[in-house]
Amino acid sequence: MSIIRFLKGPRDALLNHEKVKNYLRMILQEESASTAFPAREIAPPSHQRWVEEKKDEFSALKERFREWTASTEEHEELFRRFVYESKRAFDGDFRQHRMCLCCLMSEGEEIAYDFLVYLEKQPSEEGASYVAIIDQKVSDLRTTFFKWHAGVEAQADLPESLKEAAREIEAGQVEDWEDL
């Protein structure tokens, strides 16, 4: 009855519609109030979830490894386009490069750690090989990071004369071009 009182007034025209009246009668009937909107089916305690089967832990780790290696390869292509071969690379490109390298290294280390935790419970050569592959890839990423972003002194592939020139510039020992 409270629904009908609520609908009185400007909504009286709505109540004149036969379908609305029948719907309200159905809702207001005490015995059919619970059957007008039946509750969702409740699965018995012995039900199985078959839509999404849970993977075992090792399969999940292998899947994370595959996703990480695919992501690493995708990023390497982006690095090539926007940093390594770009003639218009700017500070934002180098910052993104550092950011992505750090994230890839971090994610690789996390996956390797999770493999190690798993291997404590279930030792296997296959699992150890995944850790070795991750370690090598993280090492390659670290080398790339230092090659592109470390200070001049930390870069082993630069000649000592260039490093000495960089030290002189930092110390303010710069001669004017006009004096040369």
Which has the higher per-residue pLDDT, 6 or 74? 74
Res. 2: pLDDT tops 80? no
d(CA 157, CA 102): 22
Res. 72: pLDDT tops 70? yes
What is the reported pLDDT for 40?
59
Q: What confidence tens digit (pLDDT) does each residue in 45-62 have?
A: 566 655 655 678 999 999
What is the reported pLDDT for 4?
47
Q: What confidence tens digit (pLDDT) does each residue in 125-168 have?
A: 999 999 999 999 999 999 999 989 988 777 777 788 888 888 88
What is the reported pLDDT for 158?
76
* Residue 43 binned pLDDT confidence (cut-offs 50, 70, 90): low
Which has the higher per-residue pLDDT, 7 or 143? 143
What is the reported pLDDT for 169?
83
> pTM value?
0.61
Radius of gyration of the chain (CA): 34
Residue 75, classified by CB atoms within 10 Å of its CB into exposed (0-12), middle (13-18) or buried (19+), is middle
- Using the 8-state DSSP alphabet, how is residue 10 labeled? T
Res. 112: pLDDT tops 90? yes
Residue pair 162/132 in contact (Cβ under 8 Å)? The answer is no
* Average pLDDT taken over every residue of the chain: 81
Q: What angle do CA 131, 134, 139 make, to 5 degrees?
A: 125
How far does Cα 14 stand from its chain's mean position? 51
